[in-house]
């Protein structure tokens, strides 16, 4: 992340209500209780967790922006490798 970002809607008041922060945090905790966040190469994560009940959210960089996530992390060849790997998984994914 290069800078902080904030979403807004000019037609609606802010959604954050500090009087309900404990409720919001509890709901987030329940929603994320079975979520894994890994710091591994994408191919290893897919191989490790792939099953019929697994859902992968995949967010590779845009074409010609491969270095936006860091130098040498994702290259042009990875687009084909990722497509090939996703073509053979048991789970589902959103790319």
In this structure, the chain runs to a length of 95
Q: Is 13 helix (H, G, I), strand (E, B) or coil?
A: coil
Residue pair 57/94 in contact by the 8 Å Cβ criterion: yes
For the entire predicted model, the pTM comes to 0.66
Confidence label for 2 from pLDDT (cuts 50, 70 and 90): low
The phi and psi torsions of 23 (rounded to 5 degrees) equal -65, -45
Q: Retrieve residue 79's tokens.
A: 């687009």
Tens digits of residue pLDDT in 28-43 = 999 999 888 888 999 9
What's the pLDDT tens digit per position in 63-83? 999 998 889 889 999 999 999
Taking residues 6-24, report their average pLDDT.
79
Specify the residue for token string 């509890």. Answer: 26
Q: What's residue 23's pLDDT?
A: 93
């Amino acid at each position: 992340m290069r800078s902080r970002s904030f979403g807004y809607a000019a037609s609606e008041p802010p959604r954050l209500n500090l009087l309900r922060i404990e409720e919001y945090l509890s709901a987030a905790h329940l929603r994320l209780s079975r979520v894994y966040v890994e710091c591994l190469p994408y191919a290893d994560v897919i191989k490790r967790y792939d099953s019929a009940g697994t859902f992968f959210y995949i967010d590779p960089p845009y074409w010609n922006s491969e270095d936006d996530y860091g130098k040498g992390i994702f290259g042009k060849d990875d687009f084909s490798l990722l497509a090939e790997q996703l073509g053979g998984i048991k789970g589902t994914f959103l790319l």
